[in-house]
Structures are given as structure tokens and as C-alpha cells.
Structure 1
Amino acid sequence: MSERLAAPDVLRGIAIAGTFGTNIWVFADPRGPIGIIAGADDGWWADTALRAAANGKFLALLTLLFGVGVELQYRSAVRRGLRWPGRYLLRTAILFTEGLLHYLLVFEFDVLMGYAVAALPVAWLIGRSPRVRAVAAAAAGSAVVLIVGAVTVLTAGSTGADAPLPPYPATWAGQVHDRIVDAGLWRIELVVVVPSAVALFLAGAALLRAGVFDAAGTRLRHRLVVLGAAGAVLNVATTVAGPGWFVVERYLVAPLVALGLLGLVPELLFRLRAPAGPVRRGLTALGRTAMSCYVGQNLVAAVLFHAWGLGLATTFAALPAPVRTVAVAGTWAAVLVCSAVLASVWLRRFGRGPLELLTHRLLGVGVPADPTVRTGCRGGPGA
């Protein structure tokens, strides 16, 4: 497979690994997901650095790649003379249902529902003129800036650390009940996730059209790397500024870093031209089974950390800070390696991951896999 075709899968694998690097801290908090709202109260500088390094960057990268996938699906429909968005609307309905089940049964901070909602206007916009797409992306981006600015101002000076927190249910059924009852709290993030996704979907599609994965796209990739470096500097500034800048870091700074990764990884693949080693093969396998790995990793983390499972969140909380950090990071690495190995074994027999295969079956024979998976050599959609 050429570097141009391998890059999206590798990027998607990196995005899945990094997104789990964010989620695992949510699972590892014995206060439950409400802890991320209240703010960390028992960590140390290494925890802060690791959380800041992962916060939003890889999710933004995953979102950009979803936009790349929508563009590829649109091209495929045009090439085959099919009506657009046509069956793609069914795909978004399936994605929303999968996200809803993931939210209810596994994880409060599911992003798939937001992706499905954002994909609807983008499906209509993707075939419009560059001017219309640019205006829509600017409008969505402006909405994100306004929402993030308002949240930052309203929460200035308050970390929530002193507020009493309700106990997180110890049973799986209790957690499901809370997700239903408190859906307004846990799904409020969609207010910013959806416009952010619209802007990043359109940006990913535009970058694909501009040749970000082409051999001749070196100048574009270099510009993205510079933009990413500027984002990294801003990331350090927001981290030093304190938890009051968390939302700015997640939704305004993180996309800049993600754009840098989108330029850096393909450029390195073009330059290195070396045979794929175990790390690259593992990332590619994760990328080709992105939906399954995203949901599967969160499910495994729930079993490992929640009280109804192995209860590692409580066990790790009793450890000294440095040891706890190593334990959480080690668990992340272990789950990630296992995911890559299992994905590689699965792909030896099947062309897509389990959830991707299910979506394929629901859509019917001859329809590409789920939009959270596959860009590249087979023209499938991306995350």
C-alpha cells in the first residue's frame, strides 16, 4: 500500500489511541465521569501533563478524518451515478443508534451521536460550491468560539472542586439509570460538539481536495505542521493558565494540533518510505477497525475500572500519585496493545471490524463500511 493510501488508516489509529488516552482518565476517576466537570483534585503534574497532551487533540483528528471519509463517499456516489446523500442518510441513522447504545450502556461522553447529527448538514453541504462550504464552516466555527467563550467566562474562577459530588452508582444498572435520568447533563456537550464537528468535517473534506495525502501536497502539509506547532505552544499556555481554560484547550486549541498531525504523519510516511514495522501495522489495524476499537476500548475500561467490574478506579486512587499515574498509563498501553493485536488477527479474515461489518450488513451488499472507518486503498469512508 502506498504512503498516500496508508496515511489515513495510520492517522485514524493514532486518533483512536489518543482518544482512549483521554477517556481512560475519566474511567480511572473513582468519582465517576462527574469528576471531569469538578476538576482533578488528587493528581500531580504528570497527570496534568498527560491529560493536557490528550485533551481534544485526537478527537479533533478523528473528526477531521470523518470529513475525509464523507468526501470520499460523496466522490464514490458521483462516480457511480448514485443519488446523494441517498443511502448515506441511513448510514447516519445507524451511527446515531450505535452512539445512543454506546452512551446508554457504556460511556457518558460518547461522540458518535454528535457525529451522526453533524453529518446531516455536511452531507448536504459537501456537494455545494467552495464558497458555500467555506461560509458554512466559518459559521459553525464562529458558533464554537462563541459557546466556548461564554462557558469560559461563566466558569471563570470556579473549578468545582469544593462542590459536593453525588456518588457514582456502583452497579451497571444504576449507571444506565443515571445516564437516562441525567441525559440533559451528559448530552449538553453536543451543543458544542455538533458545530465543531461540522466545521472539522468540512475542513477535512477541503484538505483532501487540496491534496493533503498527495505526493505534491508537501507545501500544504508543511503549513499544517507550522499551524500545529503554534497550537502546541498555545496548549502549553492554556495548561499553565489552569483548569479554567479547559474548554478553550479542548475545542479551540486542540483542532490546531490535530491539523498539525494531519500534515506531519503523511509527510513522514512519504519521507521514510520504510517497510511497516509492528507499531505502524498496529496503528493501521486500529485505524481500519476504528469504530469497534473506540467502543471496545471504552467497554473494557468500564469493566476494569468501575465498581461492578474489577474496581481499579478505587484501587488506583489509594496509590501514591506517581504510582497511580504509571498504573493508569500502563493500563492504557496494555488495552491499546491488546486492541491492536486483536484487530490485526480479525482483519486477517474480515475486511472490516465487527461493528463496521454490522453496519455494512445493515446497509446492504455493495455498500462501503461505516463512516468511522476506512479511507485509503479501497475507497472506504473515514472517521
Structure 2
Amino acid sequence: MQETGGIPTNGRIRLLDILRGFAIIGTLGTNIWLFADPGATLALLSFQGEGNSIDTWINGFLGIFTSGKFLGLLTIMFGIGLEMKYRKALRVKLPWLRMYIWTMILLGLDGLLHFIFVFEYDVLMSYAFTGIIVAFLVGCRHTTLNWIMAGAAAIHLFGLMLLTIVWIWMFHDEALFAEIMGMFQQTEIVYTTGTYLEQIQYRLSDFWGLRGEAISIIFMNIFLYLFGIRLYRAGAFSNDTNGRNIRKRLMIWGLGLGIPLNLLAFVPGHVFDLSVRYLFAPVLSVGYIGLIAFILERNLFGWLLTRFEMIGKTALSCYVLQNIIGSVLFYNWGLGLAPVDNVYGVIGAWILITIIMMIVAQLFVRLFGIGPLEWVWRKLSSAPFKSLSR
């Protein structure tokens, strides 16, 4: 029997699978622009494009609802997953820290391979590092967690303020801006004319530079991991009145605050560019949790939500798959479609890859129950602890 928002009879929370799939598709909605125009990284952080064309407005509108929002949603989902694994470890008497740190090492290795051979904007390494930190914190009392969340938020806000000052200065310093744009043009050359091996060499040669965002969001990740843990403990995903009330508040406050805050991206002067992606985006992410729960509880768009659910059950495999397909479509060693200037072509590629993910996820779930990377990860992560769980 499958329920609408809580825990079904097999112990799996359907809403979480749907949210995870929704987040994977939304992540592609951000990354697809990086594939289509490898040298336009700044466009993900600033929606104040040149001109007043329809393409510019469509790009900006999509960015308001995608850029950073699904990064935040995935981070919250990882926190929820950590809490569920923690409860299971206590229930079956497994060594929590050894078990979870081992799984995060495997996730980090997956992310490293993904970074080297597929996509330099991988988030898995950042999640793995954050997961190891939070694994030591999950057993703390609620008041302690609250103080840690406040500390992580304060450090993140302070860092964001400093980066915003540098960001605004960059746009006002013509020489510095020209130098940075030159670096991005070199990136475009690598991906639009370089071979596959040259692209691997590029990612390895500038490893730390390309890991800049992954490092800078660590404290935001810690906050959102703990926020996900607190949501789960509060009963936000239970199929009862309390759970429904929490989800309703998430939708009202998340969308009610998140949309106007993210619209600040259109304020001239680039003052809110970084805040929209690294501060206001998670607010809208919370609204998405409530909105998807609202749709699910009313049995709306059932076919589409089932497709999200299938992708959610194969999230790791689909995340890597979408980036492999994006590489094949746009990079020089594949079909070489980049750079794509037409916004409709980029959206079309997003839809095409999403459809492929839906089909592949459906096949894997029906045949095997999980995706191939999930199967490998489950086998490797449980292997050292099999004797302890008997």
C-alpha cells in the first residue's frame, strides 16, 4: 500500500523519493547552461544579462527558480538521509561513525571520479565532506544542534558578505573583470575545441580552483544538513496531522519569502547576486518541499510524480547519467553542440535528458529496484559490516 506523504508499509517515504527526483531534474536545469555554454559560468550567478531580449528574460526567470534552489534541496535531503541512517544504525546496533564515514569516503571517491572524468562542478565531494562532519554532530542534544546551526549560519553569512564585496568590486574594476572573463573564455576553448584527455587535464590542473564553490558552501551545507535532521525529527514527513501542518507551513513561508527574496537578483548593481544563490535559494528550496507535498497529498499530476519517484530511487545513477549525456551532447569530443546561444535549444536539451532519465530510471527500478551506482554503493558500504549485522 502506498500513501501520500508519510511512511508506507515497506518503510520507505515516498515523498522523499519524489523530492529527490525533483531535485535531480532541477539540478540539471542549472547545469545544462554550463554544458551549453562552458564559458558562461558568471551567468549562473548574475541574471542581469545584456539587453532586454526575450531570451534574456527567460534565462533570468528560469534562474530565479532553479539556480541554487535544487542544490539547497539536495543538501537538505542528504541531511534527512543521514538521520535515517543514524536511526537504523542505532536500531540494528551497528558502529555509527565507522559505518557512515566509510559510506562518505565511498561517496567522495565517486565524486572525485565524476569530477575528473565527467563534470568539474560535481557536488558529491562537498556532500561527502559535510556528511563526515555532521556524523559527529547528529547525536548531540537539540539545544547543542541549534547552537551549531547558528554558528554555521553566522560563519556562512560573514563569508558571503566578504565575497559579495569582492564580487561588486570585480564588476567595477574593468581590468580585473576582463582578466576573469579571459579565464572563462579559456574554459570555453577547452570544452568546445579540446579533446577528452585535454579536458581531463584541465580539470586536474586547476583542481582547487574548480572546487571553489564546493569549498565555500561547506558551512551552508552543515546548516542545511542539520535543518534536514531537525525537520525529520519534528515529524515533517509523517503521515499525520502534525506532518501535514509542518509541510503546509514550509510551503507558505518558503514560497512566500523565497520568491520575493530571489527576485532581488534583478536589482541593479549585482548587490544580491551571490545572496540569491547562497542565501535566499535554500528558502525557496524549503517552499518546494511543502509544494511537492501539497501536490502529492491531493493526488495531482500522479504520472509525473511517479516519474520523479523513479528518478529519486536512482538519484546517484541519474545524477551521473545526466552529466554524461550533457558531455556527449555539448563537448567537442561528443556531438560538439556548444556553445548554444538559443535559450530554447538549451531548454530542449534539458527536457530531452530528463525524458531519458525517466525512461532509464523506470527500467532500473522495475528490473532491479535501484540504480547501478546505488547497487555498487550499497554493496561496498555494507561489506565491512555484514558480520556485525547478523
- Aligned counterparts of 1:273 and 1:331: Cα–Cα separation in 2: 29
Give 1:277 shift: 3.1
* Aligned residues between the structures: 359
Give 1:117 shift: 0.4
TM-score computed with the length of structure 1 as normaliser? 0.88
Is 1:156 the equivalent of 2:164?
Answer: no
Is 1:144 the equivalent of 2:156?
Answer: yes
Residue 287 to residue 127, structure 1, CA distance change in 2 (3 Å): same
The structure with more helix, counted as a fraction of residues: 2
**Match of residue 287 from structure 2:** 260
Residue 337 to residue 366, structure 1, CA distance change in 2 (3 Å): farther
**Match of residue 113 from structure 1:** 125
Gaps of at least 5 residues in structure 1 are: 318-323, 369-383
Gaps of at least 5 residues in structure 2 are: 7-12
* Contact kept in structure 2, 1:213 and 1:266, CA below 8 Å: no
Is 1:62 the equivalent of 2:74?
Answer: yes
Is 1:130 the equivalent of 2:150?
Answer: no
- Aligned counterparts of 1:25 and 1:344: Cα–Cα separation in 2: 26
Residue 38 to residue 262, structure 1, CA distance change in 2 (3 Å): closer
> How do 1:167-246 residues align onto structure 2 when only pairs under 5 Å count?
167=186, 168-169=189-190, 170-214=194-238, 215-216=240-241, 217-228=243-254, 229-241=256-268, 243-246=270-273
Give 1:219 shift: 2.5
Aligned pair partner of 1:334 in 333, 352, 371: 352
- The C-alpha deviation readout for 1:216-245, integer Å capped at 9, x for no partner, is 223322221232120111101223446453
Which has the higher mean CA deviation after the structures are superposed, 358-367 or 183-192?
358-367
Give 1:263 shift: 2.0
Aligned pair partner of 1:22 in 30, 45, 56: 30
Cα RMSD for the two superposed structures: 2.2
* Contact kept in structure 2, 1:93 and 1:116, CA below 8 Å: yes
**Match of residue 303 from structure 2:** 278
Percent identity reads 34
Aligned pair partner of 1:363 in 376, 381, 386: 381
* Contact kept in structure 2, 1:306 and 1:313, CA below 8 Å: yes
- Aligned counterparts of 1:117 and 1:225: Cα–Cα separation in 2: 30
Give 1:184 shift: 2.1
- Aligned counterparts of 1:107 and 1:35: Cα–Cα separation in 2: 18
TM-score computed with the length of structure 2 as normaliser? 0.86
Aligned pair partner of 2:16 in 8, 22, 30: 8
- The C-alpha deviation readout for 1:226-274, integer Å capped at 9, x for no partner, is 321201111012234464532211110011001111222223322x146
* Contact kept in structure 2, 1:158 and 1:244, CA below 8 Å: no
* AA in 2 matched with 1:362: L
- After the TM superposition, list the runs of 4 or more consecutive aligned residues in structure 1 that deviate by more than 3 angstroms: 32-43, 157-163, 239-244, 364-368
* Contact kept in structure 2, 1:114 and 1:194, CA below 8 Å: yes
Give 1:27 shift: 0.7
- Aligned counterparts of 2:56 and 2:366: Cα–Cα separation in 1: 42
* Contact kept in structure 2, 1:38 and 1:161, CA below 8 Å: no
**Match of residue 347 from structure 1:** 365
Is 1:94 the equivalent of 2:95?
Answer: no
> How do 1:314-333 residues align onto structure 2 when only pairs under 5 Å count?
314=339, 316-317=340-341, 324-333=342-351
* AA in 2 matched with 1:80: V
**Match of residue 332 from structure 2:** 307
